[in-house]
Structure 1
Amino acid sequence: MENSEAGRRLIDGRFELIGPLGAGGMGTVWRARDIALHREVALKEVRPPDPATAAAQPDLAVQLRERAIREARALARLAHPNVVTIHHIVEPAPGTEGHPWIVMELLKGGSLHDRLAAGPMPLPEVVRLGLDILSALRAAHAEGVLHRDVKPANVLLRPDGAGVLTDFGIAALHGATALTSTGVLIGSPEYIAPERCRGEEGLAASDLWSLGMMLYVAAEGTHPLRRATSLATVVAVLDEPIPAPVRSGPLGPVLERLLVRDPAARPDGAELEALLRAASTALGTGAGAAAPAPAPAAVPAPAPAPVAGPGLYGPPPTTSGTRPFTPGGGSPYGPTTPVPAPAPARGRGRAALIGGVLALALAGGVVGLVQALPDGTSGDPDAKGSKASAPATNVAQAPATPKSATPKPQGTPASAAKGSLLTPDKVRTAVEAFKQQTGTTTFVEMTVYEGYVLASIPTAPGADTYDRYEYRDGQVKNDGPGGTVKPEEPLIDMAAVKWDALPGLLERAQQELGVTKPTSRYVIVEPWLFDASPSMRPYLTDEYGRGGYVYADTQGNVKKVYRS
């Protein structure tokens, strides 16, 4: 996947690394040049930058790969001007060591975190930013995607000032495999919604709380709940009153309605948009506008916040040693460090709440929690996201290729790789092995790689939950809970799929995509994104990053060919 050419470091034979944009606890983002299309892009290298971290957590590489694919799939569902654009995902060849690279659009306007380091923003800009990110969140929520980490470092700015939401690496997708274990919370304490601290997940209102807190910081220049330690910050989010905005003018009442701890009492997306537009109108006419914010030069130099009160929102201190990147101020591309989640019952007193938090800390959760507090950074990239198994919304349809113009395949045909599981008989063997373990051939979805097969299989007939399974070297392993079955998407009987059509589909993909020597190939069988009909999609890429997939039904009838 990674090589060098004339002194250049190339990824996938196509993307030349220019220099790092920022580093996080889960990887590094690079400025790169696409030598095939002669454009600059951002590459997210999905691996721990600290070898000691990887050595201490052997399963981390697998988790990172899952998060990379999750981010790509989350973004692949969205086609929105305020959501990061994914170009491509480079996966390591089956059976080899390596890590994914996500190829993303490069944005050169910096992040909102960078902008806020200079002081609060003018109110019209804050309201516009709120409308931009709200629009992105509503599009994501409509597709069943919750972001779960809306914060200034995850908002990039276009040159015209438009806000772009990025880093869906810890997004919750409806029906996707959970990446956190029970009792572990993912997100940044300063911006996380209080109900998520209590263990309540799956609410769009939680993303809106995070948006409201971000707008408060942008308008007021301070974070109302940031404390000197992450434990104190979590306690403040759960329990302490939020000071009324003083510089936000007509935006103030909107923030007060949004930053309430009962998620049911918050405005929903449509109502919030109406409130923000009303505030924008008021600002445009001068009605209720606040006094102009001081120039950036008048903002005091940032200093650590005292324990008893909020500190100025400014650039966090520099990290030291090998401490992992902390998510509040830095790369919007690295997934956030897990945070042990206190789970006090509703209505408990403050003393009991603090006691519960400290008990978790003494049980060993302090390190993860402290690392998740935004108090350190190594850079804030200017880039956007990438794509794994992308649906048609993010790829162009390949033009029909006359057979006379089709390059003659060279080397090993796509359908005949030695030892590959991508043959009809071997796929049927894997399906039968899954049946022996689970009692069914009716799956949520299945992905067949050269060396192994992954499947999502209902936990029981008629169940609305499923587990994840892996078939490798003739053995089936249950990888644990996967998620819930979407009622609108039918299950697929893998024994009824016309697997004999697979070699022909692979050959057609190889020819029509111009991939004469594939370096990566796999097939996904799952409901089609747009109409939920059962689909079979072989993917091919070569060492130059060329490739795409064939979209067919489960009987092998080709619908379209898509080039990545």
Structure 2
Amino acid sequence: MREERRERGTADDAAQRRVGPYVLERLLGEGGMGEVHLARRADSPGGPPVALKVLRARLARDPGFLARFRREVAAARKVDSPFVVPLVDADTETAEPWLATAFVPGPTLADVIRSSGPLTEDRLREIGRALAGALEDIHAAGLVHRDLKPSNVLLHPDKGAQVIDLGIARALDGTRLTATGLVVGSAGYMAPEQLTGEGGSPASDVFALGAVLAYAATGRHPFGGGPAHRVGHRTLTEEADLDGVPDALLPLLASCLVKDPAQRPAPRRIRDVLAGSPGSRSPDPPGLRSPLRPRRPRRPRRCRWARDRRPPRRSRTRTGLPAPLPRPLPRRPRPRPYPRPPRPAGSSAAGSCSSPQCWPSFSRAP
């Protein structure tokens, strides 16, 4: 870190430093890939300023990072959207690669939330429409952002919210812009499929959009803070904290943050819902019903072939209880056995026959 600061030098030295056709004025920030400076063209000092990102010297010698930087430039050139900060110029073949984007004279969404607190519902709708439009244009260019978070959203005083940092974008054709097996993104804003290694998709950006709007509405990270592995575990196993989100936006944000990517709405649908266009209602996520849409009773489906198989309907009494079952029929009495005549006196049990034909006949004496 000290060597890099020595390379950068003091602020006065940076003011005289020149990168390509631009003269650096002051340092705006630092990132994982390099430094961002406010710069102007040397041939037009009064021209519009740009945000010039310079790749670090040690990373410029790494072929992997250099390839990632070149892909960032190629991805930024593909996107043409009023909701994405445009690329002005770039040079990836020099010893000190750099790229210049339009300078946005405004804070990030994260800075605004930290200083002023949660946003109002009207402001949330405005920012949400801009972010959904940015994702729609990024996906139309065949890319996935994969790192949408509050610090990557700049608030222009005239143009509104704009998205920056396409450095870890991934092409929809399957071209990987990062190393295989590397989890790319920010904890708390990565979709569950990104955490499990399935990769990013347009639905992953929708998940990040829902997390960004939830943070802007509540001032809290939707899956809490702490170490990245704990936040990732809560993202996989727990539901997002949406306490404090306006009731009108609660179903929409909940549908963006569902675990199943197939159940998340498309950016176009999100824009329509936030714009309040007629006929577009907030989508209902599983287990959560919109307060604006009454639940209609479901009518049972009837099939002709199943009419005879349906059980007979029981009549109900006035109390609503089913009618009692009919009483069982009384049991028929068992038939009595044939009466056996008495055994005559003097007869023995041995050799006697029990059949009536063997019984002795008694006759009256004359």
TM > 0.5 between the two? yes
For residues 228-307 of structure 1, the aligned pairs below 5 Å read: 228-278=226-276
For residues 4-83 of structure 1, the aligned pairs below 5 Å read: 8-12=16-20, 14-37=21-44, 38-39=46-47, 40-47=49-56, 54=58, 61-83=62-84
Give the match for residue 99 of structure 2: 102
Q: Counterparts of 1:204 and 1:151 in 2: how far apart (Å)?
A: 15
Q: Is residue 53–residue 99 contact of structure 2 (8 Å, CA) maintained in 1?
A: yes
Q: Is residue 22–residue 42 contact of structure 2 (8 Å, CA) maintained in 1?
A: yes
Q: Counterparts of 2:266 and 2:54 in 1: how far apart (Å)?
A: 36
Give the match for residue 314 of structure 2: none
For residues 125-524 of structure 1, the aligned pairs below 5 Å read: 125-160=123-158, 162-175=160-173, 177-278=175-276
The amino acid across from 1:261 in the alignment is K
The amino acid across from 1:10 in the alignment is R
Q: Is residue 110–residue 157 contact of structure 1 (8 Å, CA) maintained in 2?
A: yes
CA shift, 1:139, in A, is 0.9
Distance change (3 Å), C-alpha of 1:274 and 1:28: same
Q: Is residue 46–residue 64 contact of structure 1 (8 Å, CA) maintained in 2?
A: no
CA shift, 1:188, in A, is 0.3
Q: Is residue 220–residue 248 contact of structure 1 (8 Å, CA) maintained in 2?
A: no
Q: Counterparts of 1:258 and 1:26 in 2: how far apart (Å)?
A: 30
SS of the equivalent of 1:139 reads helix
Q: Counterparts of 1:243 and 1:110 in 2: how far apart (Å)?
A: 25
Distance change (3 Å), C-alpha of 1:35 and 1:208: same
Q: Counterparts of 2:165 and 2:81 in 1: how far apart (Å)?
A: 15
Q: How many residues align?
A: 269
SS of the equivalent of 2:17 reads strand
Q: Counterparts of 1:104 and 1:22 in 2: how far apart (Å)?
A: 14
SS of the equivalent of 1:184 reads coil
Q: Is residue 82–residue 163 contact of structure 1 (8 Å, CA) maintained in 2?
A: yes
Deviation per residue, 1:125-146 (Å, 9 max, x gap): 1111111011011111111110
Q: Is residue 60–residue 96 contact of structure 2 (8 Å, CA) maintained in 1?
A: no
Q: Is residue 214–residue 242 contact of structure 2 (8 Å, CA) maintained in 1?
A: no
Q: Counterparts of 2:232 and 2:245 in 1: how far apart (Å)?
A: 25
Give the match for residue 399 of structure 1: none
CA shift, 1:59, in A, is 8.5
Q: Counterparts of 2:61 and 2:197 in 1: how far apart (Å)?
A: 23
Q: Counterparts of 1:32 and 1:192 in 2: how far apart (Å)?
A: 32
CA shift, 1:120, in A, is 0.8
The amino acid across from 1:185 in the alignment is V
Distance change (3 Å), C-alpha of 1:245 and 1:275: farther
The amino acid across from 1:32 in the alignment is A
Distance change (3 Å), C-alpha of 1:257 and 1:176: closer
Q: Counterparts of 2:52 and 2:114 in 1: how far apart (Å)?
A: 25
Q: Counterparts of 2:33 and 2:251 in 1: how far apart (Å)?
A: 38
Distance change (3 Å), C-alpha of 1:73 and 1:91: closer
CA shift, 1:175, in A, is 4.2
Q: Counterparts of 1:278 and 1:263 in 2: how far apart (Å)?
A: 24
The amino acid across from 1:100 in the alignment is P
Distance change (3 Å), C-alpha of 1:222 and 1:171: same
SS of the equivalent of 2:269 reads helix
CA shift, 1:186, in A, is 0.5
Quote the sequence identity (%).
33
Unaligned segments of structure 2, at least 5 residues: 1-7, 282-290, 293-366
SS of the equivalent of 2:183 reads strand
The amino acid across from 2:43 in the alignment is A
Over aligned residue pairs, what C-alpha RMSD do you find?
2.8
CA shift, 1:106, in A, is 0.6
Partner residue of 1:123 out of 121, 130, 153: 121
SS of the equivalent of 1:20 reads strand
SS of the equivalent of 2:208 reads helix
Give the match for residue 488 of structure 1: none
Give the match for residue 332 of structure 2: none
Q: Is residue 213–residue 259 contact of structure 1 (8 Å, CA) maintained in 2?
A: yes
CA shift, 1:202, in A, is 4.4
Q: Counterparts of 1:29 and 1:83 in 2: how far apart (Å)?
A: 17
Deviation per residue, 1:434-464 (Å, 9 max, x gap): xxxxxxxxxxxxxxxxxxxxxxxxxxxxxxx
The amino acid across from 1:91 in the alignment is T
Instruction: Give the structure with the larger strand fraction.
Output: 1
Distance change (3 Å), C-alpha of 1:108 and 1:59: closer
CA shift, 1:270, in A, is 2.3
SS of the equivalent of 2:276 reads helix
CA shift, 1:266, in A, is 0.9
Q: Counterparts of 2:93 and 2:65 in 1: how far apart (Å)?
A: 13
Structure 1 length-normalised TM: 0.45
SS of the equivalent of 1:67 reads helix
Q: Is residue 121–residue 218 contact of structure 1 (8 Å, CA) maintained in 2?
A: yes
Q: Counterparts of 2:193 and 2:277 in 1: how far apart (Å)?
A: 27
